[in-house]
C-alpha cells in the first residue's frame, strides 16, 4: 500500500501534519540544529553557515534456513544517522579540499541514538556530534582560505549549490510481515533441497527491511519518507570434477514480502536453477580468449548498460569534481586546468552510438504493468528531480547525475543524491532511480542473430557468443552462455567466468549496433557497502530500475578464457546419504 505524500516547495517554513512519532523526531532535530546554528562559534574561527541532520529508523528482520531448518533469524532495530556541517558560504567553504599538510580532525563521537523516540536522547546525540564536526570543519576552512590567499587563487567553482527549501512528508506504510512469516518461507523453500543429494550446500535468505528516514537543514527543508525492501535469495552449490565447487543463486526483490512470488513459483525456479547447474557440469569451458560479436539478452542487457554508464566516472553519468589540494603551486595550477577542461561540453566525447538515448525518469511508477521500484520524488538532500533528465543524446553525455556539490558541468543539484540505507549502514550516493535506455537501430531477435552470423563470417570467426539468462521469475538470475556456430547457427552451452571483459571501457557503448524494439523492466538493489552489483546479493540499500531492450547486439566484446576461480573442496569421504 502506497500512502499519499505531502509535498510543498517553499521559500520559508510551512506546517505539515505528521504522525506523532515522526513529528517528535523532526522537532528534536530542528530544535538542536537551530540551537547550534545560533550559538556554535569557537573563538578565532568562523561560524557554520549550513547544518543538515539525517536520521534513519531501521527495522530489519531476516531468516536463514538450510534443508528445512532455520540456522539464523533475528530482528534488528536501530537508528543510523550523520551530520553535515559547513563553514564558509555557498561560494567557498571547507568542503572539496584536501589539506596535504595534515587534516585537523576531531572524532565525531556519535552517541548511540535511543531506539525509543526520546526527544532529549536525540538532541544529546546530535549535539555531541555537531560540536566535533564543527571543530574539524572550522579548522579545515581556515586552512583552505589560507591556501587560496597565499596563491592568489581565483576560486573557479562554487562549493555548494543554492536550492529551494522543500517540505515532504510520507508516513510509514507499515508492514504485515513478521519474523515468523520469514522463518516459515525460508524453512519451506530450503526443504526443497533435501531430495537433491548432489547439492553440497544450499540456503534460503528471506528479509524485510523497513526504514523511516528524516532529513532537516537550516534552509528550512524537511523530508520524511519510508524505504521498504524485501528479498528472498536462494543459493546452491554442487561439486564438479576434482571436487571443484559450482555455485549459483537467484534473488527476488520487492517492497514487501507479499510483492514476491509465492513458494510454488520459487520452487519451480529452483528446479530450473538445479537443472542449469547439472548442465554446466557437462558444458565445455571457453578455452581461449574471445574478441568478436556478442548477442546479449535478458537481465544481462541491464547489467551491461549499468556498468558501462554508472561505474565509468571518466565517461559515465555521474558528476565528478576534482578536490583542491595545497601540496604545492603546480598541484593548484593543475587543479584549475582540470576544472577548465572538464567544463568543455565535449570533454566526455562520444561514448555511444548516435542512435542511443539514455534518460533518467525518476517519477515514473510503472512501465507496461511492471512496478518500477526505483521511483522517487525527492532525494536525500531535499531536492526534487525533474520528470525527465536526458543523460546521453546522440552518443554524447549531455547531463550528469548531481547533488549539491557543484561540478564543472553541473552547477546545481538535479536531485540524485540518494539515501542508501539499511542495518548498520547509512550513506548517500549519486544514483539514478529509473533509467530508460532507447536504441534507435532496431531488429527482431532472429534478425539480430542473423546479423551476428554475417559479422562472424566477415571476420572469419568460427563462432560467436550469446549471453542469455535462466527462464525464471527472479530479479537476479545467473547468466547462461552459448557458442553460436558461424556456419550452422547452432548454439551449444559454454562455460564463461562472467561478463567482465571490456565492459567498463568508457567507449563500450559504441559497440552497440542494434537492439530489439521490445523493452523490459529490471529492478535491482544497490548495496551501500559494496556498490551496484548485478551479481551481488544485496538485502538492503536503495532501489534502481532499468528499462532496456530485451536484446542487443555488440559488434565486439572481450571474454577471457574460463577460470573457475574456486578452490577444490578436497573431500576425504563422500556426502552423507
pLDDT of residue 12: 37
Please give the biggest Cα pair distance in the chain: 81
Contact 87, 48 (CB under 8 A): yes
pLDDT of residue 103: 56
**Quick one: how far is CA 250 from the chain centroid?**
18
pLDDT at 145 > cutoff 60: yes
- What SS3 class is residue 22? helix
Instruction: Report how far apart, in Å, the C-alpha atoms of 363 and of each of 342, 366, 454 are.
Output: 30, 9, 41
Confidence class of residue 14 from pLDDT cuts 50, 70 and 90? very low
- Region of residue 96 (left: phi > 0; alpha: psi -120 to 50; beta: else): left
Give the containing element (helix H, strand E) for 483.
strand 479-485
Contact 494, 559 (CB under 8 A): no
The angle that helices 119-150 and 20-39 make with each other, rounded to 10 degrees, is: 40
Q: What are phi and psi of 357, to 5 degrees?
A: -125, 130
pLDDT tens digits, residue range 496-549?
A: 877 765 554 667 899 999 999 999 999 988 875 433 333 356 667 889 999 999
Using CA atoms, how far apart are residues 296 and 553, in angstroms rounded to an integer? 6
pLDDT tens digits, residue range 217-272?
A: 999 999 999 999 999 999 998 876 666 677 889 999 999 999 999 999 999 999 99
Contact 6, 167 (CB under 8 A): yes
Using CA atoms, how far apart are residues 55 and 516, in angstroms rounded to an integer? 44
Dihedral of the alpha carbons of 248, 515, 375, 392, in degrees to the nearest 10: 120
Using CA atoms, how far apart are residues 412 and 460, in angstroms rounded to an integer? 51
For residues 267-280, average pLDDT = 92
pLDDT tens digits, residue range 91-106?
A: 999 999 988 766 565 5
**Quick one: how far is CA 419 from the chain centroid?**
10
Nearest Cα to 401, choosing from 266, 532, 521, 502?
532
What residues contact residue 415 under an 8 Å CB cut-off, 6+ apart? 362, 378, 379, 383, 384, 385, 386
Supply 478's cell numbers: 545467473
Using CA atoms, how far apart are residues 99 and 84, in angstroms rounded to an integer? 19
Nearest Cα to 203, choosing from 68, 63, 65?
65
Confidence class of residue 284 from pLDDT cuts 50, 70 and 90? confident
Alpha helices, DSSP H, located in 405-543? 445-458
Average pLDDT of the chain, as a whole number: 87
Contact 503, 467 (CB under 8 A): no
Dihedral of the alpha carbons of 380, 382, 385, 387, in degrees to the nearest 10: 110
Sign of the dihedral defined by the CA atoms of residues 18, 19, 24, 26, in that order = negative
3-class SS letters over 101-126: CCCCCCCCCCCCCCCCCCHHHHHHHH
Confidence class of residue 38 from pLDDT cuts 50, 70 and 90? very high
Using CA atoms, how far apart are residues 231 and 309, in angstroms rounded to an integer? 26
CB 562: neighbour CB atoms within 10 A?
A: 18
pLDDT tens digits, residue range 166-224?
A: 999 999 997 778 899 999 999 999 999 998 878 888 999 999 999 999 999 999 999 99
pLDDT tens digits, residue range 356-381?
A: 999 999 999 999 999 999 999 999 99
| Percentage of the chain exceeding pLDDT 90 | 61
Using CA atoms, how far apart are residues 6 and 26, in angstroms rounded to an integer? 15
Using CA atoms, how far apart are residues 309 and 508, in angstroms rounded to an integer? 9
Contact 395, 441 (CB under 8 A): no
Contact 53, 60 (CB under 8 A): no
Higher pLDDT, 429 or 437: 437
The burial class, CB within 10 Å (0-12 / 13-18 / 19+), for 336 is middle
Contact 409, 532 (CB under 8 A): no
Name the residue with cell 524505504. 227
For residues 154-168, average pLDDT = 93
Amino acid at each position: 500500500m502506497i500512502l499519499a505524500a505531502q509535498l510543498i516547495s517553499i521559500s520559508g517554513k510551512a506546517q505539515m501534519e505528521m504522525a506523532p512519532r515522526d513529528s517528535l523526531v523532526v522537532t528534536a532535530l530542528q530544535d538542536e540544529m537551530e540551537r547550534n546554528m545560533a550559538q556554535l562559534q569557537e573563538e578565532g574561527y568562523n561560524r557554520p553557515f549550513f547544518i543538515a541532520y539525517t536520521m534513519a529508523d531501521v527495522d530489519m528482520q531476516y531468516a536463514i534456513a538450510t534443508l528445512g531448518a532455520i540456522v539464523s533469524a533475528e530482528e534488528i532495530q536501530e537508528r543510523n544517522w550523520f551530520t553535515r556541517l559547513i563553514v564558509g558560504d555557498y561560494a567557498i567553504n571547507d568542503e572539496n579540499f584536501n589539506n596535504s599538510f595534515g587534516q585537523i580532525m576531531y572524532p565525531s563521537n556519535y552517541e548511540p541514538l535511543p531506539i525509543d523516540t526520546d526527544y532529549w536522547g536525540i538532541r544529546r546525540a546530535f549535539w555531541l556530534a555537531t560540536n566535533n564536526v564543527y571543530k574539524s570543519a572550522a579548522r579545515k576552512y581556515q586552512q583552505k582560505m589560507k591556501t587560496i590567499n597565499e596563491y592568489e587563487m581565483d576560486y573557479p567553482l562554487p562549493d555548494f549549490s543554492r536550492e529551494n527549501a522543500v517540505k515532504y512528508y510520507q508516513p510509514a506504510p507499515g508492514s504485515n510481515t513478521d519474523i515468523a512469516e520469514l522463518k516459515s518461507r525460508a524453512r519451506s523453500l530450503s526443504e526443497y533441497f533435501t531430495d537433491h543429494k548432489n547439492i553440497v550446500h544450499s540456503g534460503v535468505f528471506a528479509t524485510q527491511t523497513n526504514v523511516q528516514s528524516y532529513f532537516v537543514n537550516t534552509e528550512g527543508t524537511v523530508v520524511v519518507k519510508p524505504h521498504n525492501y524485501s528479498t528472498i535469495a536462494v543459493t546452491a552449490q554442487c561439486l564438479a570434477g576434482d571436487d571443484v565447487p559450482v555455485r549459483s543463486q537467484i534473488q527476488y526483490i520487492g517492497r514487501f514480502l507479499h510483492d514476491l512470488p509465492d513458494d510454488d513459483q520459487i520452487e519451480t525456479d529452483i528446479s530450473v536453477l538445479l537443472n542449469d547447474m547439472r548442465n554446466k557440469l557437462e558444458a565445455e569451458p571457453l578455452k581461449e580468449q574471445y574478441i568478436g560479436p556478442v548477442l546479449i539478452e535478458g537481465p544481462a542487457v541491464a547489467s551491461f548498460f549499468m556498468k558501462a554508464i554508472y561505474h565509468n566516472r571518466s565517461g559515465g553519468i555521474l558528476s565528478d569534481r576534482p578536490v583542491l589540494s595545497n601540496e604545492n603551486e603546480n598541484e593548484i595550477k593543475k587543479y584549475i586546468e582540470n576544472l577548465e577542461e572538464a567544463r568543455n561540453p565535449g570533454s566526455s566525447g562520444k561514448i555511444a552510438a548516435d542512435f542511443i538515448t539514455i534518460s533518467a525518469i525518476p517519477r515514473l511508477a510503472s512501465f507496461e504493468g511492471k512496478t518500477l521500484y526505483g521511483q522517487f520524488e525527492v532525494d536525500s538532500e531535499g531536492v526534487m528531480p525533474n520528470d525527465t533528465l536526458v543523460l546521453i543524446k546522440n552518443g554524447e553525455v549531455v547531463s550528469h547525475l548531481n547533488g549539491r556539490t557543484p561540478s564543472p558541468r553541473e552547477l546545481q543539484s538535479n536531485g540524485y543524491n540518494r539515501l542508501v540505507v539499511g542495518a548498520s549502514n547509512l550513506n548517500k550516493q549519486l544514483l539514478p532511480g529509473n533509467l530508460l535506455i532507447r536504441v534507435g537501430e532496431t531488429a527482431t531477435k532472429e534478425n539480430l542473430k542473423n546479423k551476428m552470423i554475417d559479422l562472424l563470417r566477415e571476420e572469419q570467426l568460427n563462432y560467436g557468443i550469446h549471453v542469455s539468462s535462466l527462464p525464471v521469475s527472479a530479479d537476479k538470475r545467473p547468466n547462461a552462455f552459448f557458442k553460436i556456430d558461424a556456419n550452422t547457427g547452432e548454439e551449444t552451452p559454454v562455460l564463461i567466468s562472467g561478463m567482465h571483459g571490456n565492459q567498463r571501457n568508457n567507449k563500450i557503448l559504441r559497440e552497440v549496433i542494434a537492439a530489439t524494439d521490445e523493452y523490459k523492466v529490471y529492478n535491482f538493489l544497490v548495496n551501500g557497502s559494496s556498490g551496484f552489483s548485478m551479481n551481488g546479493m544485496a538485502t538492503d540499500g536503495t532501489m534502481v530500475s532499468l528499462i532496456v531492450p530485451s536484446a542487443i547486439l555488440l559488434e565486439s566484446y572481450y571474454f577471457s578464457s574460463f577460470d573457475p576461480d574456486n578452490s577444490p573442496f578436497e573431500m576425504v569421504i563422500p556426502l552423507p546419504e
